[in-house]
Chain A
Amino acid sequence: MGITFFLLCFLMMVSVVLVASGVTIHYGVVSLLFAAMFGSGLLVAGGGSFMPLVVLLIYLGGLLVVFAFCVGFTDDKYCEFWGVGGSKVLAYVCGAGLGIGGYCVYDSAWAEVLGCFVDGVEAWGDDVSNEFLGVGLFYLSGWGLLVLSGWALLVVLFTIMIMIRGRHRGALRSL
């Protein structure tokens, strides 16, 4: 279990630095995908079972598919990787970030050794985990936020359809 936690922390840090350092968008999208996967793996290590699946469904299955589709739309001819053609200052800053992340990973290795691990699966009843009851609060007392989120999604759907329409003159026209 210890080496899994260590690998999750380390690989997440590497992919976070790879996204933020502004490489070619193809590499950026794939490393954001890996960052989401390792982040949800860290949620599993923290004791959750529903939240990581939510992240995997909505981020990987929904959002990143749309991102990859848009990457297919816009072409990028000159491939860059970590300071070869891009900004060197940003590469050094992200190298410093990698060092800080290495400290976090080292801290996680010691936390595993010392045994102060986060284990948050407690049972309210005897056979039901805390997490599903917490998500069920969405329907009980958090119905206002549920209605608000649904309304926001509907409005965003029509906004995107208007922006993509492109039959007019101006800055947002189609070719």
Chain B
Amino acid sequence: LTSPTNLLFTFSFIIFTIGFTFRHTHLLSALLCLEGMMLSVFLLMATWSLSSNISSFILPLTVLTLSACEAGIGLALLIASARTHNTANLKNLNLLQC
């Protein structure tokens, strides 16, 4: 279905994925792009559930819950590494570098 909201959400998912694969200076930018990906997936699922006869919203709500869990753990990792290295730049996460 190529209605304009579906197209917009699909392209925003693609743009968030592209932004996630590029290397940023800060770890939080990558986490923001990850959150944006889950948000656009939720919007796609909710639009599909709204505009079809299958009116069950279990899947968007479950995906939203699990993405909240994932964001929480990512932020805990960010805070732990920011406490250790005093910033959270991606250059400081080089413990496994040879």
**A32 x B35 contact (CB < 8 A):** yes
Write out, one digit per residue, whether chain A residues 133-145 have a CB within 8 A of any chain B CB (1) or not (0): 1110110001001
**B50 x A62 contact (CB < 8 A):** no
Please tell me which one of the listed residues B25, B57, B65, B84 contacts residue A135 in the complex, with CB atoms under 8 A apart: B57
A83 contacts the other chain (CB 8 A): no
**A90 x B58 contact (CB < 8 A):** no
In the complex, what residues of B have CB within 8 A of residue A71's CB? 28
With A46-B50, A172-B84 as known contacts, state yes or no: A35 contacts B79, CB within 8 Å: no
Size category of the A interface is: 35 or more
With A63-B68, A74-B78, A149-B65 as known contacts, state yes or no: A13 contacts B8, CB within 8 Å: yes
**B22 x A22 contact (CB < 8 A):** yes
With A58-B64, A93-B18 as known contacts, state yes or no: A70 contacts B79, CB within 8 Å: yes
A4 contacts the other chain (CB 8 A): no
Please tell me which one of the listed residues A55, A94, A149 contacts residue B19 in the complex, with CB atoms under 8 A apart: A94
Instruction: Specify the chain B residue showing the minimal Cβ separation from A85.
Output: B25
Decide if the interface of chain B is mainly helix, strand, loop or mixed. helix
Instruction: Specify the chain A residue showing the minimal Cβ separation from B78.
Output: A70
**A134 x B57 contact (CB < 8 A):** yes
For the complex, give the distance between the alpha carbons of A144 and B40 in Å.
25
For the complex, give the distance between the alpha carbons of A61 and B59 in Å.
21
Write out, one digit per residue, whether chain A residues 143-175 have a CB within 8 A of any chain B CB (1) or not (0): 001001100110010011001101000011111
Chain A CB count within 10 A is highest, among B3, B31, B39, for B39
**B4 x A47 contact (CB < 8 A):** no
In the complex, what residues of B have CB within 8 A of residue A120's CB? 50-52
Which B residues form the contact surface with A (CB < 8 A)? 3-5, 7-9, 11-12, 14-16, 18-20, 22-26, 28-29, 31-33, 35-36, 39-40, 42-43, 46-47, 49-52, 55-58, 60-62, 64-66, 68-69, 71-73, 75-84, 86-88, 95
Q: List 9 A-B contacts (CB under 8 A).
A: A22-B19, A70-B79, A74-B28, A80-B25, A104-B7, A104-B8, A149-B62, A159-B76, A166-B83
Complex A-B, nearest 10 residue pairs according to Cβ-Cβ distance, in ascending order: A20-B19, A108-B4, A134-B55, A142-B58, A156-B69, A130-B55, A172-B80, A149-B65, A22-B24, A160-B76
